[in-house]
Structure 1
Amino acid sequence: MDPIVTAAGKIFIYSALRYFALAGIPFLLFYLLLPNKLNRFKIQQKLASKKDFLREIWYSMQSTLVFTCITMVLLFTPLRQYTMIYDQLSDFPLWYVGVSVVLSLIVHDTYFYWMHRIMHHKKLFKLTHVVHHESTNPSPWTSYSFHMAEAVVEGGVLIVIAFVMPLHPLSILLFTVSGFIINVYGHLGYEIMPRWFRHSWAFEVFNTSVHHNLHHKKFRGNYGLYFRVWDRVMGTEHPDYVKEFDRVQVSRFSEPLVAKY
């Protein structure tokens, strides 16, 4: 069998297993094993159906196939020689691996914000993004539930990053894993941020599960992925976000929370 085909198959299988592990474990805990005990963490009290979950998994597998193709193009075609991907960890200080992952997440957040806003244009929304928004009450399975055309654009960020900063394949792996974990949290349907978070500066910077859940519920505002920064700068953060976050916190901790930073 062609080595490239073999590599593609391995990457797809690894990516699919990663999806089922990183989305499946939270789903198992929050939706199957402990839903009653964790009910106070639930953002929307209504429940998605089994049909919703199966639809999300189906589209997520299509997205995983697209992401596999993008990875193959980057690593195993002549395009690689024009990227800044390097093979030897010794080419840069070891600490740079961590720095490159953080920088990748920052670039991705900017890329995602503007791509996401464009996807909400009426024509593009009906053609592509509507698939993701069929999940008005998202679950961990929603994380990769995209129309294939949107998956191409979503995965395109990896090509952008590979052209703007040096990346070792390990950095690419860590970026995709950490980004997916945050993505699963954003679609979890439950708020799990610790109590102190609401009182800290971090609340002003980082997104929460409530933040993205409100986007799925209202279909507008809260376009950012990891951070609140672009939404706040561009005035697109949903006006009910803080109030909604506090409502969930009251449910969790049984008393109002007021920021003290």
Structure 2
Amino acid sequence: MQEDFEKIVRIFSISTIRYILFAGIPFVLYYIVLSSKSKKAKIQVRLSSKQDYKRELVYSFQMIVVTTLIGYFILFTPFTAYTKIYQDVNEYPIWWIFVSVLICLIIHDTYFYWMHRLLHQPKVFRLVHLVHHKSTNPSPFTSYSFSLLETIAENAVIILIVLFLPMHKLGIILFVLVGFIINVYGHLGYETAPKWFRNSFLFQIINTSVHHNLHHSKFNGNYGLYFRIWDRLCKTENPNYVQEYDRVQSNRFGLKN
């Protein structure tokens, strides 16, 4: 029992540190330290209220608790025997760890897109998704601000993944970390993509902070998490996305629209 408690505390501590590093530090940098210098990169001119930040922090703590319990469940309970999680790093080629992370991102993006569209059905929205959309002008803290039901739904994807996809613990850690960093970027409230990104093939595939910010300000469209693919295939991408992205980037770099 003591050993199990120590494992839970360890996972909780790691999750909290991750949140502080990858959500807390960007918030301090962009919203406090560099707020005047980064003003041109701000997607929505206005700032959220202190009450918004407090609400997001409370729900973020809930998310950390749930992710801790799910992490413990898939790694340290008898459930592990039913998963494809492997302990010996040499059981698969080293490169598989990184390929498995990429596959996880693709699976997660697909899962998220269709779940997200379901959450925007009126009755489901009010019951499950409204908490997240109270942040009409998102900040890094919004990345973990969900109702309890949505928190569980958001985290269920990792349980599904480890049931069918061979994953080393390092791959799981990398997937969770990369996914969280991208999530924070999507909710940052500032566009940080480099100038060259607009004319690269990556722009046609990968979401930006502007892309998800439009979802929060308009409440529909742009349902994808990591990629633009599903939104473009299903014609749910906001028609003003590229124009809005160019507007923000022209402010940043002094370019003509």
Q: Which interval holds the TM-score relative to the shorter structure? A: over 0.9
The within-5 A match list for 1:131-170 is 131-170=131-170
1:20 Cα deviation from its structure 2 partner:
1.2
Code of the aligned partner of 1:107: I
1:21 Cα deviation from its structure 2 partner:
1.2
- More off after superposition, 16-25 vs 224-233: 16-25
User: Could you tell me whether the CA contact under 8 Å between 1:221 and 1:236 is conserved in 2?
Assistant: yes
Unaligned ranges ≥5, structure 2: none
Q: What is the number of residues matched between the two proteins? A: 257
1:77 Cα deviation from its structure 2 partner:
2.0
- More off after superposition, 37-46 vs 15-24: 15-24
Residue matched to 1:215: 215
Residue matched to 2:243: 243
1:17 Cα deviation from its structure 2 partner:
1.4
Residue matched to 1:125: 125
1:163 Cα deviation from its structure 2 partner:
1.5
**Partners of 1:166 and 1:160 in 2: how far apart?**
12
1:165-202 Cα shifts (integer Å, max 9, x gaps):
10011110010001000000000000010001111111
1:2 Cα deviation from its structure 2 partner:
2.2
**Partners of 2:136 and 2:249 in 1: how far apart?**
21
TM-score, normalised via structure 2 length: 0.98
Code of the aligned partner of 1:52: D
1:256 Cα deviation from its structure 2 partner:
2.5
Residue matched to 2:78: 78
Residue matched to 1:233: 233
**Partners of 2:118 and 2:32 in 1: how far apart?**
36
The within-5 A match list for 1:1-261 is 2-256=2-256
1:254 Cα deviation from its structure 2 partner:
1.7
1:123-163 Cα shifts (integer Å, max 9, x gaps):
11101110000100000011110101101000001011102
**Partners of 2:120 and 2:256 in 1: how far apart?**
34
Unaligned ranges ≥5, structure 1: none
- More off after superposition, 29-38 vs 77-86: 77-86
**Partners of 1:57 and 1:167 in 2: how far apart?**
31
1:164 Cα deviation from its structure 2 partner:
2.0
**Partners of 1:255 and 1:10 in 2: how far apart?**
48
**Partners of 2:193 and 2:164 in 1: how far apart?**
33
After the TM superposition, list the runs of 4 or more consecutive aligned residues in structure 1 that deviate by more than 4 angstroms. Answer: none
User: Could you tell me whether the CA contact under 8 Å between 1:190 and 1:209 is conserved in 2?
Assistant: yes
Q: CA RMSD in A?
A: 0.9
**Partners of 1:151 and 1:51 in 2: how far apart?**
21
1:30-83 Cα shifts (integer Å, max 9, x gaps):
000011111000000001112111110110110111111111111122221111
User: Secondary structure of 1:44's partner?
Assistant: coil
Q: Percent identity?
A: 54
**Partners of 1:256 and 1:5 in 2: how far apart?**
57
Code of the aligned partner of 1:45: V
User: Could you tell me whether the CA contact under 8 Å between 1:249 and 1:256 is conserved in 2?
Assistant: no
